[in-house]
């Protein structure tokens, strides 16, 4: 019988070190957790594992009961710790399978890890019974509200983000900046959604934990994103400033298309060309910064895979002039620009063919030597 405490309530609340094996030790650990927090569902799961162990033992089935714990931080750190503890338990005896006991939720996320070590022959889910009276309902809600307030994993989002919104909006409203307050609120909420939705906070923490390699990766990623955003803004500004020759008074392409969206079919290519001319150099610089940072980080870790980033830099250099020529062609295409574009494409194809002919055989040979 294996009970999993993925968020390590045993260690955090009862100060019990895992892994725990043997009926007496498991009962003692469950008792300590129940005393430390009588409302903790993991204590019920552990007692359920002990009960299942007794039932199996009475039927003459040779088995053992154990508890493993993860980490309060969750995620990869918790799964890695759980895997290590399960492997330690499996080495201590000749076990043929695992009976998984859980109260559901995050604990069951470890199931694929367990199945990779031993067959999971049975899953026991423990449902904690609550009174259906209004008083008991308020007690349960109060428990989760306390988690939102005092648990750092939830309070930073449930209280920190709204608190920042209220503080900044109130300061702006004092100075009569109602629109700025609304804009700041939307930016903060949108930023929080993006950070949590894409796990950017954990991604940054994981990168920084890798030392110099992580610092270079983070710096190159952030700076490249900023440069690309500036390039996009510059391209839009250049596109918006271009006027249509011969119009009296002078009108920009953007003004004409905004007044009559059907004109987009006539001026869409010109707008795209002006946008590409204004944005291309900074967007390309941003991409080059990212590729350079990735290459330097990989060189610090032994150089494996750095050649891919070098190829990306070469590709960016080869593609710059064809794209710039294509943008000029969209703005005012001539026969000369067509010939120039074709020339750049042919030169780029020749350069790529020569580069891959030199590099790929060496990479394939190195890979074969390593595999041998």
Shared-domain flag, residues 43 and 66: yes
Closest CA to 293 of 281, 282, 306: 306
Tokens of 369: 């030597």
List, in sequence order, every beta strand (DSSP E) within the chain: 2-5, 20-21, 66-69, 98-102, 120-125
Q: Which range is most confident: 10-24, 260-274, 281-295, 323-337?
A: 281-295
Shared-domain flag, residues 29 and 164: no
Total structural domains in the chain? 3
Shared-domain flag, residues 168 and 219: no
Average pLDDT, the chain: 81
Shared-domain flag, residues 260 and 367: yes
Shared-domain flag, residues 210 and 356: yes
pLDDT for position 368: 46
Distance (Å, whole) CA 325 – CA 352: 19
Least confident of 64-68, 136-140, 296-300: 136-140
Shared-domain flag, residues 115 and 240: no
Distance (Å, whole) CA 8 – CA 36: 13
Q: Pick from 198, 219, 254: which residue ends a domain?
A: 198
Shared-domain flag, residues 215 and 284: yes
pLDDT for position 203: 73
- DSSP character string of 74-94: -HHHHHHHHHHHHHHHHHTS-
Residues 6+ positions from 32 with CB-CB distance below 8 Å: 10, 14, 15, 16
Q: Which range is most confident: 132-146, 158-172, 340-354?
A: 158-172
Residue with tokens 């930073």: 156
Q: Which residues pair with 102 in a beta bridge?
A: 125
pLDDT, mean of residues 243-251: 73
In the chain, what percentage of residues exceed pLDDT 90? 9
Residues 6+ positions from 155 with CB-CB distance below 8 Å: 148, 149
Shared-domain flag, residues 286 and 175: no
Residues 6+ positions from 321 with CB-CB distance below 8 Å: 344
Residue 72's H or E segment, with its range, is: none
pLDDT for position 364: 56
Shared-domain flag, residues 42 and 140: no
Residue pair 19/25 in contact by the 8 Å Cβ criterion: no
Q: pLDDT at residue 24 above 70? A: yes
Tokens of 70: 């993860």
Shared-domain flag, residues 307 and 215: yes
CB burial class (10 A; 0-12, 13-18, 19+) of residue 192?
A: middle
Distance (Å, whole) CA 245 – CA 172: 44
Closest CA to 37 of 79, 73, 70, 5: 5
Q: Pick from 125, 154, 186: which residue ends a domain?
A: 125
pLDDT, mean of residues 340-361: 74
pLDDT for position 346: 80
User: From residue 262, how far is each of 193, 272, 282 by CA, in Å?
Assistant: 36, 16, 31
Residue with tokens 């931080």: 73
* Domain of 44, in residue numbers: 2-125
pLDDT confidence bin for 337, thresholds 50/70/90: low
Shared-domain flag, residues 172 and 267: no
Residues 108-129 pLDDT 10s: 777 888 888 888 888 887 766 5
Whether the CA torsion 323, 328, 329, 331 is positive or negative: it is: positive
């Amino acid at each position: 019988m294996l009970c999993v405490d993925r968020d390590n309530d045993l260690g955090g609340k009862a100060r019990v070190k895992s892994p725990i094996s043997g009926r007496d030790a498991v009962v003692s650990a469950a008792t300590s957790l129940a005393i430390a927090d009588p409302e903790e569902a993991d204590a019920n799961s552990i007692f359920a594992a002990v009960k299942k162990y007794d039932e199996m033992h009475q039927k003459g089935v040779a088995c053992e009961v154990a508890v493993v714990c993860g980490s309060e931080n969750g995620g990869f750190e918790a799964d890695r710790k759980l895997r290590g503890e399960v492997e330690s338990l499996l080495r201590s005896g000749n076990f043929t399978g695992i009976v998984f006991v859980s109260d559901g939720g995050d604990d069951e996320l470890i199931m694929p890890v367990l199945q990779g070590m031993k067959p999971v022959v049975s899953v026991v889910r423990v449902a904690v019974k609550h009174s259906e009276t209004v008083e008991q309902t308020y007690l349960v809600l109060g428990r989760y509200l306390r988690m939102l307030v005092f648990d750092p994993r939830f309070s930073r989002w449930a209280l920190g983000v709204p608190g920042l919104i209220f503080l900044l909006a109130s300061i702006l409203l004092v100075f009569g900046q109602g629109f700025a307050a609304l804009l700041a609120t939307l930016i903060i909420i949108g930023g929080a959604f993006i950070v949590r939705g894409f796990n950017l906070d954990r991604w940054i923490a994981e990168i920084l934990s890798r030392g110099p390699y992580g610092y270079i990766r983070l710096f190159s990623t952030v700076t490249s994103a900023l440069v690309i955003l500036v390039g996009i803004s510059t391209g839009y500004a250049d596109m918006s400033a271009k006027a249509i020759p011969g119009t009296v008074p002078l009108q920009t392409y953007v003004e004409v298309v905004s007044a009559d969206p059907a004109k987009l079919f006539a001026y869409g290519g010109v707008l795209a060309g002006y946008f590409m001319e204004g944005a291309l150099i900074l967007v390309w610089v941003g991409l080059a910064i990212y590729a350079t940072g990735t290459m330097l980080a990989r060189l610090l870790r032994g150089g494996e895979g750095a050649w891919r980033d070098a190829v990306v830099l070469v590709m960016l250099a080869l593609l710059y002039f064809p794209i710039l020529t294509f943008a000029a062609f969209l703005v005012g295409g001539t026969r000369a620009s067509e010939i120039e574009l074709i020339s750049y494409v042919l030169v780029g194809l020749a350069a790529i063919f020569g580069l891959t002919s030199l590099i790929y055989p060496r990479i394939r040979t190195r890979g074969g030597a390593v595999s041998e």
